Amino acid sequence: MIVDNIENNLFNYRFPEEEGFLYGFNLYALINGNDVLLIDSAFSSQARQVKKDLTSKGLRLTHVLLTHFHPDHVAGLIALDAEITVLGSPEYEKTLTKDIPQRVTAVSFSDGFQFGDFNLAFTPAPGHSACSILIDINGKYLHAGDNLMSRYDGKAILPWVEFSELANHISSLEMLKEMNRDRIILGHGPELFGRKEVSQAIDDRLNYLKAVFDTAGKCSHKEATAGCSCEFAGNEFFQKLIAESAN
Ligand SMILES: [Fe+2]
């Protein structure tokens, strides 16, 4: 686990990819006095390590905000107190398959959420999951969840999406591109910094998704990625998508 103090009261807990795993994990901790709001929880192992580090600093985990409710983001809740306030999309029940000890409070897309010095605003971004949201932090950072994924060496990971959700994922990425942001943080992989890098990263995923969508899944991996500037990890996500297109 690597702990980065990004700026005052904002920490990135980073878990690089373990041997044989496609992706690692980012958990972001926002500090308000002694209280902590954590964005995503990864699995129990990562959540426990973060909790231990926070406790050693005299801090108390009070909130967990989920970018979405896939197991690699919510399963860590099992290792955390039942009293913690868990926040996420109003659509969370469409995705949440695990029993978690906490009750989920739906975020408001109109009012946002204030946590100490942090103004958080939320935008629905369905596609990767029905409950995916974008989280704006003080107008400076945008957490894009798993709309974009990469490895910590910067290698892009193919989007994970169900075939029936391709159009939604494309729409959410187009919306993200139009936001014209220059600091994008992710559930998996390093921060994307600068409009050029952000725009290219989004275009690479869009070109892939559109190629699969436009051919109704009748394309090779080479054809699907022909319009991309990068090579992707995660070929199994392509195989899964093509298999679903045949059903
Ligand atoms: Fe994920």
Q: How far is the CA of 47 from the centre of ligand 1 (A)?
A: 14
Q: Rounded CA gap, 95 and 129, in Å?
A: 7
Q: How far is the CA of 41 from the centre of ligand 1 (A)?
A: 10
pLDDT digits (tens, 9 = 90+) for 192-222: 999 999 999 999 999 999 999 999 999 999 9
Residue 97 pLDDT > 90: no
pTM > 0.85: yes or no? yes
191 domain residue, yes or no: yes
111 domain residue, yes or no: no
112 domain residue, yes or no: no
Report the sign of the C-alpha dihedral through residues 224, 68, 30, 46, in that order.
negative
Neighbour count for residue 50 (Cβ, 10 Å): 25
Phi-psi label, residue 180: left if phi above 0, alpha if psi -120 to 50, beta otherwise? left
Q: Rounded CA gap, 159 and 180, in Å?
A: 20
What domain count does the chain have?
1
Supply the mean pLDDT for the chain: 97
29 domain residue, yes or no: yes
Q: How far is the CA of 188 from the centre of ligand 1 (A)?
A: 7
Domain containing 51 equals 2-106+117-245
Q: What is the CATH number of the domain that holds 235?
A: 3.60.15.10
135 domain residue, yes or no: yes
187 domain residue, yes or no: yes
